[in-house]
Structures are given as structure tokens and as C-alpha cells.
Structure 1
């Protein structure tokens, strides 16, 4: 009885992330139509995206789209497009199990990325090549390549990429069962991510630490690291990695024999699989739930889960999974002394042996059949099956022994290569020192000659120089005066900036105090008069508390985002995405607010408009601008969000027909030192911080923001975004 590849069952749907097959095909069709209408450079990116979508679904389709990406990249002759297309082909060849071809394409992609000085791209190429080398069991080559990448990152002081590659090195050492080196490298990566305050990177390193401690049978320590990873993935709301963390926790609780907890986490993992409609993962999850329930002696519930697993395995044609589950069912019936049923399912498992060719499953089938025949008194057949079981057991032992020997051999070769590299470095250093010594000798004779010429020439030169010295001194005095003026100006600017920040924080303190005063006053009245107030009075005061809390929350959210932008702790991750869905999503978030004022929000954005920016940051900008438009609109007002392509930029406009602003008010916008906190048409409060935040975020995404307004007629806030990476 065994788990069904428990650690890796999530791979298929983690790569796709679609809610169901219908949605997947609809998205594929939509991207194909978009690609047909797009310029060649964008076609390269879109066909690469389509190729990635078929990872784990159809290797041939993935390769087909990667070749289409290459076709348009060759037409453009653009270096970035070619680097993307060759990388896409490498990924597709991994899917069709051609790692040698993958390596060839990854190398070409790396070459283009080196020409572009794309450090992140180079690191990704190195990582991808290392995975391909691992597929070929060429672990020494993978390690050499990754260590070369780490050295490059250290030269460039690129900490984020260095940590990423250190994790890859740790995974290679883990594959070689070299836990000490694996742990050493993952600890280095962890320290870097702690320094960078990178939550997602930290969660990944904790996951690897959990794997390593599980390999070493340190289950309690492994569980602690899995819990840390789970907690961090919850913070960043990454559903794909959260599913992986849930699965890991289920494995560890099973190892600790805490079966109720293991069952709880495997059930959560099943929920993720069902949500994403990944049949293979659903089948495996049911098998694993059945496995745990069997350990808990809940045989009927275990059988129920096993039969669900078999039903889905048949549907997707996964005969290996089907055979494993038949073995598990046969064990339950045998342990329940229901020999006929056990014989039925063991016989079904037996019929899969020629097709599946899995020694471990085959061995288990012979073992259970031997026990069934012995209990039936058919001793000759029992002996036959038991003999086959023992032969396969010996074979598996030899295979494991050979694998251990191969691992030791690779570790030895890796160590030897590292020593050879170190020796080569020392030889190069000796050779460099010899050359340097010869050069120094040549330079010394040249210096002596130059010195003699200089001594002779200096006397003559000094006579000519005296005339120039006075003019030079005068010029230097002027430069010093100019430098003093600039220094005084800088000091004044610094004082103005400090004054502006002091004023800004006093505004924030004042605007924090008002909602708290309201909350304290109204809640005190409610507490004192709750029995004497009518339902309507309680509802009215509750609404005031809600509005004050909401105002406070928006202020704190904007303040937090502004402070993170000032500290450069926001990691900008631009990507190519359609603008319309993002706008619609932000409108939904403030529907309650707009409905209260009966403000109609309309959108005029074409489906095909794409922007290259950080999606999360642009969401904050849209939310602030649309919220402001509603805030300053009258009851039954209108707000329009529109976008137009203008060359290589997209111009977005948020328009309202509200109170508008005069020139004096417009001049105060986007400035930290201006106290501009006009109330909305329904007395909504604000600080102006949201617009300051919008300006910083738009400029960091390569765009501009401005406003046009007429008093009592309304306002329009404009901002621009790039349409692709190179815009």
C-alpha cells in the first residue's frame, strides 16, 4: 500500500492555474485572436505565453507555439524577442523530453541576454540549463553552471538573483543526497531574502529546508519549516504555492503519524485540485486520502476515496495510478478478511503489469497475490507469487544500491571538478602575476625615461605656466564661489523638504485623529444608550462608525503604500496584461461606495489594449482615482474610465462630472507640502496622500499623470502606461 507520487502531484495544475477546461480553452482562443492582430514583437511574447499554458497538458502544442514565437522573432531580428523565443523553445523541448535540444536553445537565449546585459534573463537561462543537465543526470555540469551564475551575481551585487541560484544549487545537492551542502546553500539564500525582506523568496527557502529535514527524518523540524512557509504564502496570497505548502504539511503529519491532521491538509489540497479541475491531481489526492484513512482503520471511507480515484484515473487514462489504487484496495479487503474481493482487485492490478512496467507496483501486486493464495490454501501459486515478489525485492534493492553508488560517483566527480577549477584558478593567478611583473618592469623603464624628459621639460614649462597660474587661480575662485552658492541652495532645499515632511505628518496626524474622535464619540453614545435608541438610530450611528472606519482604513492603506515606496521596499514586477479586466476588478471593489451615492461608473476600453506595468501597483492607482471620482461626484452623478492607444503608450482617463477644481486647487495637487483635504459631496474625508501615491507609482512604471478640471463641471485625471517592455 503506498502514496501516489504525493510530493509532485501538483505540478500539472500549478503550471496552468485555470479554473476549468472550458476557461482554459477560452483563454487560449482569446490569446490566439489577440496574437493575430498584434505587431510581430508582441506576437513573440503572446505565443511564448501560449506555449507555457500547455506545459503539463500537451507537449506537442507547447512546442508548436514556441516555434511560432521563434518564427516572428526571426522576422523582427530584435535581440530581446530572439532571447524570449529561444528560451521558449528550450522550455518546450524539456516538455517533449529532449533535454539536449533544450540546452542548445537555452545557450543561444543566454547569448542574446548577455548582449542585452539582461542580468535577470541570464540567471534564468543558467537556471533552465541546470534543470536540463539534471534531467540528463549531469549534476557536475549543473553545479558548475549555477556556481558561475552566483559569481556573476556577486560581481554585479545582484542579491535577488544570487539567492534564486543558491536555491537551485541546494536542490541539486538534495538530488545528490548531499544534505550538508544543500543546507549550507539554502541558508545563504535565506539570509539574503531576510536582508531584502523578500517574503516569497523566504517562503521558498523554508520549503526547501522542510524537504531537507524530511529527507533526514527530522520530521518535527521539517514540520516547523513547512508551517513557516505556509504562513508566508498566506501573507502574499499566492494560491499556487499555498496548495504546495498544504500538500507538504499533509505529508509531514503523515510521517509524524498524526493522521487526523494529515487528513485535514490532504482534504484542503483536494479542494485546491477540484477548484482548478486538475483530474490527475484530484485522482492522486483521493488516493492519498484513502491511504491515510486506511491507516486510521476507517476502511469503508478509505474504499470510498480509492474508488473515486480509480474512476478519475480511468477517465484520464492513467493506468499507473489505476494499478496502484487497485493494490491499495486489495490490501484493505485482505486485512478485512474479505479474500474474494481482495483477489478481484489484486487480479485487476496483475493485468496492468505488462503495460505499466513499474517494478515497485509490480512487486506489491505479487506480494498481495502470494498472501491471498496462501490464505486460500493454493500453496503452489502462493509460492510462485511470493518467489516473484522476493526476486523483484532483490532487484529493487540492487537498483537502489546502484543509484546510491551513482550518486557517490557524481559527488566524487563534482568535488574533483571543483578542485580542478580551483587549481586552474591558481595557475591563472600565477600566470597573471608573472605577466604583471614583466609589465611592471617595462613600465618602470618607461617611467624613468618619462621622468628624465619631464625634468628637462619642467624648467621650460614652469616659465610658461606662471602666466597661466594667476588666470587659473582667478577661475578657481569663481568656481568656489559658485560651489558655495550651490551648497547654500541645497541647504535651503533640504530645510524646505524637512518643513514639507513635518507639515505632511501633522496633516496625517490630524486626519488620523478625526476618525478616531468620531469612533470614540459614537461608540461611547451607543454603549451608554443602546437600550434607549431605536433600531433606526442604532443603524444610523453604526453607519457613521463604518464610514469613519472605512476612511481610516483607506488613509492607513495609502500611508502604508506611500511609506513602502519611500523606503523602496515595493518590488516592481512589470508584466504584459490586458487593462480592461483590471479596471473592472477595481470598479467592483468600490461598488458599495458608488451605489450609496447612485453614481454610475462606465468603462470605454477596448479588449485588445495591453499595458506593460506592475499589475498590483496599477490596481492601487486605479482604485484611488476611481474612488476620488465617486467621492467628488454629486448624487446620481457619472464617472467614466477610458483608455486610448497613442503610439507606444496607452493614455488612461478617469472623468467625473462633480464639483471640479479651480486653478489654485489644481496647483496644490500631487505636492507633499500642501494641505489639500477637500471633503467629498457626501462629506467624505481625505488627505491628498492617494494622489501623491498615484504620481509616484505611475512615474516608477514609466508613465506620467496630470489633471484637467473646471469648477462645478468636473475633473479628468489622465495617466500614461507603456504598451510593452521597450516602449
Structure 2
């Protein structure tokens, strides 16, 4: 109850400070506003682990107030607190964005603040499993901490977590105990609570379960005193994992359920997924396959939810960034208007004095009247020009909005294709490796499976190559480096590249391209086009089929064709082959699947090189994809 009341009081203080009209900030109100910002940032430190949503609202408010008065320390602390809020909810990439933003604002003469920020960055990198960067930032934090026991304890605390993750448990335990000594000298109860959790984790991983349970009990009990709900949820789950190791599965399930419920209530997605994973193992060991599958499904859904939430949070982060900029620009505009009003008032005073003097001389009065008339016309012309400039700016903003929508749409399509077409081959490889590592598969069986999965992996590699090429062309523009390209030589290279796939289906490849005949084009682009066309031909050609690469001179152009004896394409589907929005996809003769991006990319690259792409196809007789390129001049 005290936190919401404290937040309300702070907001009222801000309202009182800004009750006056916009104008020059008085020194007294400026000092009061800084005090309000500092109070908000201090309160957030005690709030985010128990109520992250409230902490985020307060941090955003403190950020806006700090930016209004250009209070860099307040801005840096607000960014730091936003990073802590998102870190507490397991959104580590977003937390890193805010921590790094904080570094640009935190004053260089506040080493403890900088140490705290670098320590937080190190912890985020630890959670992202980038331990080299984690240790690098923690070393920087220790340098700024100097001899401050509380800050050094925080750094050694995070170092112990890194070494525990690196399976150097004895070193991690030693660092945690040293951090505990430092924390006790300054009576830092929240830090001591976290260190007990660190020690519980390290002893559990070492298999010393008695010590692990003792430290876990202490961490759990202290979490209530310091109101650290996140640590409490982690402690429940940690104890459940210990009980699983001791074959006390019923107790493990009860604790994991408590950890899951608490994680869900405060939005800690890592805790929720860990709890489901722990219960899956417990029920599996109890031979309760039904419940094990139920929690396995929940675990998978939690991971999918975390990915979806990260995507949504990234979008919200971009929106918040632009919204904040818009509000700050509005503040700057108000300040500019205030300055202009002051100048106008000063001008009006000068005009009044001039008019009083002008009353003595009629000629001077007429001159003044004419002057005002002229000024009015100038102002009118200026307003018309400003109006025209505003219309132009509006059109520019609308165009940028359309471009942004296009980029967002492009991003969504890329993510959808990656998630759909690349997950399966990677998942298959992971399954084969897991079965091999556990001894289920022999070397001979693994070699057989790898031969079978190689075409799928090559297809995934081609899909990834197409995605990268297409995304680069959409976001950065196509990089065009024309040169003399011999199609016959590229055909020889393609025959070697796809030789294994030709052997798999016993397909004959005939390179009938005119030798020594060169076209003017980007060689890399032509290789991408031919690679996609030949890959598609293999996909839709049955065993013992024939694929032919042809070229023929047509005036100043060379016509290059890839013909196959495959299934052919229905006539009504030909118009949708090269359209990404209405793309046509079908299953190959061996069950191969495509995503429709390859042909769309081929069309873009051919047209960029000054040619065109077309197709002729007949059901059950095969298809011929052809494109034209300019010949090298004499």
C-alpha cells in the first residue's frame, strides 16, 4: 500500500511544481523538480522487483521530467531503472538498450552510478549467455566501484553468477562468500538475500544438496522481508530442482507450481518456463506421462509466448522512443514560442513609443502607418509560405509513415518465413545429435540420416540465402557490380553444386549453354538466379528426369533457359509465380517444400540487371524458365 501512496504523492508534487504557466523556470521550482525526480528514481529501486509495472510507469515519468529540464543525471537514472524493470521481467535485450542509453547520460563524476550501470549490463549479458562481455563489463564496474563495499559486493555477486554458469562452481562459491562478507559490513539485506540464492544454485550444481537446501531456505525467507518477488519465485523453482535431484518429486511439483504462479503474476517469463520444465521432469520421473506431456506443452507455449512478447516489446520500444521524441519536440516548440512572444512584446513596446512620438508630426504618423501596412503584408506572405511548408512536411510525414508500414510488413514476412521454413531442418538436426549423444543411434545410422537430411539442409541454406539477399535488396538497395559473365562456366559450377541432389534422384543435367558467350551483368546475381531455378527444377522433377541449361542469341540479347521434365505448373497459377503477396507454392516430387521467395527474388535480380524473366509450362511435360540479358558489345 505504501508504494502506490508514495507514487501518488510524487505525482502531486510534480503537478504543483508545474502549475505555473510555461515560461522561465524559477530556481526554486527547478530545485524542487530535481528533488522530485531523484525521489522517483530512488523509489523505483525499491519497487521494480515487487511491482515491475508500477516501476516502469514511475521510470517513464522521471525520464520525461528530466528531459524537460535537461537534467542528465535524472535521465540516466531513469534509463537505468527502465533497464532494471525489463530485466526483472526477463526481457534482456530490451534491458540492455536502456542500460547502454543510461551510460550516455550518467555524469562522469558519479563513479558509483557508473559502476551500478556496468554491473547491470554485465548481469544482462550473463542472462544472455555472453559471458565474455559479462566479465568485461563487470571488470569495468569494479574499477568504478573503487573501495565502496556495497558496490564491490554487487560486482562480486554478479561475477559469482557468471562462474556458476561457466561450471566453475568453487570459484563462484568463493566469490559469493566474499560478496556476502562485504554486504554484511554495510547491512545490505537485499544483496545478502540474492547471495544466498546464488550459493544455493552453486551447491546444487555441485551435488551438495544439504548446503543447497540451507541457502535456499534462507533466500526464500529473506525474500519476504525485502519484498523481492522475483527472487522468491526463483527460490521456489530452485528448491524444486533440488528435490528432483533427491527423487522427492511430489515436493518438487508443489514448489514448482508456487514458482510458476508467482512468476506469472509479476510477468517473469524465464521463471514460468523454468517451472514448467521442472514439473515436466518430475512427472516424467513419476511415470505420469499424461501430466508430463501437459507441462511439456505449457513449457513450449511459454517459450513461444516469450518470443512473441519480445517481438511486441521491441515494437513498443520503438513506438515509445518516437512518442518520447515527439513530446520532447513539443516542449521545445513551446519554449521557442515563448521566446517569440517575448520578442513580440518587446517589439510592441517599441511601436507604442514610436506612435507617441509620431503624434507630433503628421508626416511621421503617415510613415508609421505605411510601415505597419507593409509589415502586415510581409507577415501575410510569411504565413502563406509557412502554410505551404507545413503542407510539404505533412506529405513527407505521410510518405515516411507508409515506408515504415512497409518495413514493418517486410519484417513480419521475414520472421514468418524464418520461423516456418528454417525451424524444421534445424529441429531435425538437433534431434539427430541428441539421439547420437545419448547412444540411441549408431554411427552408421547417423551417416544415413545425415545423407537423407542433407537436401533439406541445402534447401534451408538456399532459403536463408534468398532471405538475406531479398532483405538486403529491400532495406539497403541492390548492390550492382556488372562484369562479363560466361553462362557456360556458371553452368559447370552449378552442376558441381547440385551434383549430390542430381544423384539422389538420378537426374541428368545437360549444360548446353553457348561456351565463351558473355553477358553484361552482376555475376553474383546470376548465380543466385540460376541456383534458384535449378533447385526448383530438381524439386519438381521425378527420378530419372532431365534438367537442361540452354542459351541462345536473340539480337543483342542472350536468352538463358532452365528446362526440366517435371510435373509442370497449372496455367492459372503462372500469373502468381512472381508475386510475393499471391505467391504459388507446391510440394516437390520427394515431398520438398518451398516458400515462394526464390522466384520473386529471381525476377527482381534479373530486372535489376536489365533483363526480364518468364516461364512456359505444360502439365506432366515440364517447365522452362527463361530470362534475357544483354550481350557484351564488340
Pair in the same fold by TM > 0.5: no
Question: Which structure is higher in RCO with an 8 Å CA cutoff and minimum separation 6?
Answer: 1
